[in-house]
Structure 1
Amino acid sequence: MVKQVICINWGTKYGPRFINRLYAMVARNITPPFTFTCFTDNTAGIRPEVLTEPLPEIPVEIPKTKKGIWPKARLWGPKLGSLSGNVLFLDLDLVITGSLDDLFTYGDPDGVVLSRNPAKPFERLGQTSCFRFPVGKLLPLQEKFCENPAAIAAEYVFEQRFVTRNAPGGITLFPRGWVRHFRYQCLPTFPLNLFIAPRLPRDTRVVIFPGGVHPEVAIRGGWVGREGWSLAEHLRGIDARTPKESIWRYLRHYTRPSAWVAEAWRE
């Protein structure tokens, strides 16, 4: 069986630096044969081992919302470039720290398998930063989304909630320890985050970085907009925080540098 890994890139937020690192991490943590396909609107700078295909077409304008990110709806069509069968989708800003092989064989081969979302512990919510699905399986979701994209985005807020609640046949979740959320499951809680570096839990295969904190922040320490700040700089910056940010929120938004992220997130 050829393991098929996919990602999607649009605009200028990520680009080849993230795509190339993601490919390298996959190649180090997967048993061949495999393919790595990036659906993108710009192929400049992408390493030759990466297969590139145009962004899949969708007959509606993708809504731009403050919270949800909906362009992944392009992947839900009846076809997905030249691919068929099962694909494992990976966000560009995640870190691979263990073997991906089991993510291709876990659960029903015709099922939709999502990562667990620890940000909503009282809601059985999947996370699509890392998920597996058969090409064409999610077509009913795309059809429903295209009927009224703005209304769907307003009702569900997050694309992963829409997938969780509407995937044909329901969803399965990967085992809890395989995919970890950096902020919720690796970063020590306040005040320990000020003194202890984030840890990598045992048997973790993938670490996801929702919420704006991406691998470069984890490597340098500090926080978004304060990358590389020492603890002393962080504490001195309390008075300069934005008016909307409470002292509590400011203090817990700090991480010491993560050496294991630097080791994994490289070409």
Structure 2
Amino acid sequence: MSNILAASGGVKQVICINWGTRYGAPFINRLYAMVARNITPPFTFTCFTDNRDRLRPEILCEDLPPLDVAEMPKNSPGIWQKSRLWGPKLGNLKGQVLFLDLDIVIVGSLDGFFEVGEPDDVILARNQTTPFERLGQTSLFRYPVGKLVPLQEKFRANPQGIADEYRFEQRFVTRNAPGGAKLFPRRWVLHFRQDCRWPIPLNYFLAPRLPRDARVILFPRNLLPQHAIDGQFGGKGKIATPLGHLRGLFAADRREKNPLRYLRHYIRPTPWVADHWRE
């Protein structure tokens, strides 16, 4: 048994969080299925949620952990509800847990995420959108239960101030993790738009590629896996042929006003996402 898994009795503990109506059972069930196909047992999958309807029986459900905050930050791009998971207790879990966002796509083995580092480490995926800043990504990160209590206390004391200073919860975790934050290998966790989509003009002729060494693919907040499967521009429900998308450049109601951004955001339908993002 590895030292990393000793506190959990050799069990790989995977967790996620769900609140509100944006995701729900379809995303949670798919995430569980992807984990189960890509991990060596024994493992557990625990969802902290405010709605248990239609979840697979294999999923361990827990209520959302309490967070004594009168008002969550406003006008902040960070997903600060994740701070609920930073408390001294996390259901019945002990030791290291691997947190996964609900909208990721798992394409390779998760075992390595439980093998690198030390039992007391906080390890995050590397943020791909800030190449000149050593920044972690909390779409996937591993930490010992209770290790992030100082962060939760600091956030609870001044939620809006913390959000205004750091903007994103991942920057807050990276900068303030007790003992410092480590990062998983760069190529294990990739960003769909940056690492899979082809640059202009190839994105109009070639479907996004799946890099050979990828294990997890992250999706930006306005582009979900289903949008990639369908080839929807910007996740706005608009599906267009390459020619139709080019014509949209001259539309008066074009949402993306920057012409270059508009052109580079086009993606062709991506079948490999459907192959992995399923129950």
- Judge same fold: TM > 0.5, yes or no: yes
Work out whether 1:235 is the aligned partner of 2:264.
no
Work out whether 1:35 is the aligned partner of 2:47.
no
Aligned residue identity for 1:263:
D
On the 8 A contact 2:76/2:164 being kept in 1, the answer is: no
Aligned residue identity for 2:17:
I
TM normalised by structure 2 equals 0.93
On the 8 A contact 2:248/2:254 being kept in 1, the answer is: no
Partner of 2:60: 51
What is the RMSD computed on CA atoms of the aligned residues?
Answer: 1.2
Work out whether 1:261 is the aligned partner of 2:270.
no
Q: Among residues 239, 244, 252, which one is paired with 2:264 in the alignment? A: 252
1:239 alignment partner, SS class: coil
On the 8 A contact 1:220/1:227 being kept in 2, the answer is: no
On the 8 A contact 1:21/1:266 being kept in 2, the answer is: yes
TM normalised by structure 1 equals 0.97
1:243 CA displacement? 5.7
Partner of 1:94: 104
Partner of 1:2: 11
- Tell me, in whole angstroms, the C-alpha distance in 2 between the residues paired with 1:254 and 1:88: 33
Aligned residue identity for 1:235:
L
Aligned residue identity for 1:236:
R
Identity %: 65
1:250 CA displacement? 1.0
Q: 1:207 to 1:243 in 2, by over 3 A?
A: closer
Work out whether 1:143 is the aligned partner of 2:153.
yes
Q: Among residues 207, 227, 232, which one is paired with 2:217 in the alignment? A: 207
- Tell me, in whole angstroms, the C-alpha distance in 1 between the residues paired with 2:118 and 2:257: 44
Q: 1:227 to 1:23 in 2, by over 3 A?
A: farther
Q: How does 1:70-219 map to 2 (within 5 A)?
A: 70-219=80-229
On the 8 A contact 1:114/1:174 being kept in 2, the answer is: yes
- Tell me, in whole angstroms, the C-alpha distance in 2 between the residues paired with 1:212 and 1:12: 15
1:66 CA displacement? 4.2
1:244 CA displacement? 5.5
- Tell me, in whole angstroms, the C-alpha distance in 1 between the residues paired with 2:40 and 2:240: 39
Q: Deviations over 1:139-171 (max 9, x none)?
A: 000011111000000000000000000000001
Structure 1: 5+ residue stretches without partners? none
- Tell me, in whole angstroms, the C-alpha distance in 1 between the residues paired with 2:225 and 2:37: 18
Query: How many positions carry a matched residue from both structures?
Result: 267
My pick for the range that moved more, 118-127 or 194-203, is 194-203
- Tell me, in whole angstroms, the C-alpha distance in 2 between the residues paired with 1:242 and 1:144: 42
2:147 alignment partner, SS class: coil
- Tell me, in whole angstroms, the C-alpha distance in 2 between the residues paired with 1:35 and 1:64: 34
- Tell me, in whole angstroms, the C-alpha distance in 1 between the residues paired with 2:57 and 2:91: 18
1:191 CA displacement? 1.9
On the 8 A contact 2:127/2:135 being kept in 1, the answer is: yes
Work out whether 1:63 is the aligned partner of 2:60.
no
- Tell me, in whole angstroms, the C-alpha distance in 2 between the residues paired with 1:243 and 1:87: 40
Structure 2: 5+ residue stretches without partners? 1-9
